Amino acid sequence: MNKEPLWDLLEHDDFVTNVFHINSHADVLRTLKPKSIEQLAAVLAIIRPAKRHLVNESWDTIMKEVWTKPNDGSYYFKKAHAVSYAVACVVHMNLLVEKLNANVY
């Protein structure tokens, strides 16, 4: 868990299609290029309807707005849930890389 994932892998569809919870959102990952668990959590929130409008915004704007509760009752992710899922994604990413490395050697 203390291992930093290879964030650049999130720009490759063939890798992303294997990662839990983000496998059908390669387009958003390529656009936003998350480089931390907090940014990946924000991506997980942005793929929900209430925050989808943030997909083309800067990280500064995203981080200011992504965790605010929408007024219209639309579906969104709370920060605690998003961070939990992001950590699970990072663990899965690291396991996939470890498995790939084991198959190479």
Higher pLDDT, 2 or 18: 18
Q: 1 in a domain, yes or no?
A: no
| Closest among 40, 31, 43 to 5, alpha carbons compared | 40
Judge whether residue 101 has pLDDT over 70. yes
Q: 37 in a domain, yes or no?
A: yes
Q: 41 in a domain, yes or no?
A: yes
Residue 75, SS3? coil
CA distance 105 to 25: 31
For the chain, what is the largest distance between any 2 Cα atoms, rounded to a whole number of angstroms?
53
CB 27 within 8 A of CB 33: no
Res. 83 pLDDT band, cuts 50 70 90:
very high
Q: Please, what is the average pLDDT of the chain?
A: 94
- Its domain, for residue 61, covers 7-104
| pLDDT of amino acid 104 | 61
Judge whether residue 39 has pLDDT over 60. yes
Residue 36, SS3? coil
What domain count does the chain have? 1
Q: 2 in a domain, yes or no?
A: no
> Can you give the pTM of this predicted structure?
0.93
CA distance 42 to 75: 14
Q: 86 in a domain, yes or no?
A: yes
Q: 72 in a domain, yes or no?
A: yes
DSSP tag of 7 = G
